[in-house]
């Protein structure tokens, strides 16, 4: 037996079953709990809520207090300006001395006379006028080297330096130390005497002369012309002094 179907493919008399199926599907949807009623939904976190007690405190300065603070700062600035203006005339009236005009007061002849009592010879005091300026003069007892010496330092006209050392107890080792172990490169005539020349070929050089019982060494950074000028004055001073004698001794009590 064949059952007739309508144009929608439905069997007559079975409309109720389809309706029941549709109703059943609607019921299944209604049986599902709503999202708002789901007990498993997360509850709002109250820990992230800002606490009024933890908010940063912003101090409020009263208008009168702020005005007083500004007045204090302005007063300090005015006082500082007045202090500067008060001391400025004093500074301007007393300018700092220029370095090139400063010359230490070194009386080489007077110091040499005092040293002669213990030196056993008359220390040379070259007269160089205003060309070579002495910046120290002293007698060294030779505690460290074993060789007592008369020492004078000179600033040359070209702002170089030459040190003068004189002794009557020189030895080869001491001479090498005083000349910086420079090699002998020849001789240089100055003041009518042949000085032994030691030259590094750069800045340092020295001239050595054994004269009238003493050894005289000139060493420094000046050029050879300035060395020769000072050496000539040294020879002249040595010619005017008596020959070196025996060192002074202290009489027995």
CATH number, position 161 = 3.40.1000.20
Return left, alpha or beta for 71; rule: phi > 0 is left, psi -120 to 50 is alpha, else beta. alpha
**Positions of E strands within the chain:** 133-140, 149-155, 161-167, 184-190, 193-199, 205-211, 214-220
C-alpha distances (whole Å) from 45 to each of 34, 39, 40, 112 are: 22, 16, 15, 100
Mean pLDDT of the chain: 78
Identify the weakest region by mean pLDDT among 24-38, 77-91, 137-151, 216-230. 24-38
* Distance in Å from the first CA to the final CA of the chain: 170
In a domain, 138, yes or no: yes
In a domain, 222, yes or no: yes
In a domain, 90, yes or no: no
The residue-averaged pLDDT of 25-51 equals 51
In a domain, 117, yes or no: yes
pLDDT band at 26 (very low <50, low <70, confident <90, very high): very low
Residue 234 has pLDDT above 50, yes or no: yes
In a domain, 183, yes or no: yes
Q: Structural domain tally of the chain?
A: 1
pLDDT in tens, 160-205: 999 999 999 999 999 999 999 999 999 999 999 999 999 988 889 9
In a domain, 134, yes or no: yes
C-alpha 243/C-alpha 229 separation (Å) is: 23
Write down the pLDDT at residue 65: 66
Residue 206 has pLDDT above 90, yes or no: yes
Parent domain of 233: 108-240
CB neighbour list of residue 189: distance below 8 Å, 6 or more residues apart: 195
In a domain, 167, yes or no: yes
In a domain, 14, yes or no: no
């Amino acid at each position: 037996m064949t059952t007739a179907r309508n144009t929608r493919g439905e069997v007559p008399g079975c409309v109720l079953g389809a309706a029941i199926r549709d109703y059943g599907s609607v019921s299944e949807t209604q049986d599902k709990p709503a999202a708002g009623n789901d007990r498993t939904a997360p509850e709002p976190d109250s820990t992230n809520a800002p606490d009024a007690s933890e908010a940063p405190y912003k101090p409020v300065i009263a208008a009168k207090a702020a005005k007083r603070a500004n007045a204090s700062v302005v007063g300090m600035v005015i006082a500082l300006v007045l202090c500067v203006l008060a001391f400025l005339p004093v500074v301007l009236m007393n300018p700092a001395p220029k370095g090139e005009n400063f010359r230490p007061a070194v009386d080489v002849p007077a110091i040499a006379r005092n040293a002669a009592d213990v030196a056993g010879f008359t220390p040379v005091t070259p007269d160089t006028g205003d060309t070579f300026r002495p910046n120290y003069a002293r007698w060294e007892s030779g505690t460290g080297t074993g060789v007592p010496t008369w020492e004078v330092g000179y600033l040359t006209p070209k702002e170089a330096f030459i040190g003068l050392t004189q002794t009557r107890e020189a030895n080869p080792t001491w001479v090498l130390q005083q000349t910086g172990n420079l090699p002998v490169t020849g001789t240089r005539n100055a003041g009518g005497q042949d000085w032994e020349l030691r030259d590094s070929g750069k800045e340092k050089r020295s001239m050595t002369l054994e004269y009238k019982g003493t050894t005289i060494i000139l060493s420094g950074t000046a050029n050879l012309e300035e060395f020769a000028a000072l050496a000539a004055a040294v020879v002249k001073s040595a010619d005017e002094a008596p020959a070196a004698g025996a060192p002074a001794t202290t009489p027995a009590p």
